[in-house]
């Protein structure tokens, strides 16, 4: 569906802003904005949590990143401290 609609710009503090009409609403709480020539492109931003989840899933499927063996680390409990 190719929608076109003329809408007004307004000032919000020192920024220029535009209200996005209902028929142009986007999911989420963030967008990505960039310019192509004189066009201003606004696209939904990917949820970064899903990017991290995809990366963790990839690591789970593919196994460890390295075959290197890691040495055991001596990690004794801390010494008691007397506070005055």
**Tens-digit pLDDT profile for residues 26-59:** 888 889 999 999 999 999 887 777 788 888 888 8
Q: Considering the domain boundaries, does residue 40 fall inside one?
A: yes
User: Which residues face 44 on adjacent strands?
Assistant: 31
> Residue 78: which region, alpha, beta or left (left: phi > 0; alpha: psi -120 to 50)?
beta
Q: Considering the domain boundaries, does residue 33 fall inside one?
A: yes
Q: How confident is the model at residue 69 (pLDDT cuts 50, 70, 90)?
A: confident
Q: Considering the domain boundaries, does residue 18 fall inside one?
A: yes
Q: Considering the domain boundaries, does residue 36 fall inside one?
A: yes
Q: Considering the domain boundaries, does residue 39 fall inside one?
A: yes
How many independent structural domains does the chain possess? 1
What domain range is 24 assigned to? 1-64
For residues 59 and 11, give the distance between their C-alpha atoms in angstroms, rounded to a whole number.
Answer: 46
For residues 30 and 65, give the distance between their C-alpha atoms in angstroms, rounded to a whole number.
Answer: 32
Q: Considering the domain boundaries, does residue 30 fall inside one?
A: yes
- pTM value is 0.49
Q: Considering the domain boundaries, does residue 3 fall inside one?
A: yes
């Amino acid at each position: 569906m190719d929608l076109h609609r003329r809408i007004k710009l307004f000032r919000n503090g020192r920024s220029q802003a535009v209200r996005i009409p209902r028929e142009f609403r986007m999911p989420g709480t963030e967008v990505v904005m960039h310019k192509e020539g004189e066009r201003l492109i606004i696209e939904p931003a990917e949820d970064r949590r899903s990017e991290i989840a995809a990366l963790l899933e990839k690591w789970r499927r593919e196994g460890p990143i390295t075959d290197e063996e890691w040495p055991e680390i001596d990690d004794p409990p801390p010494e008691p401290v007397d506070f005055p």
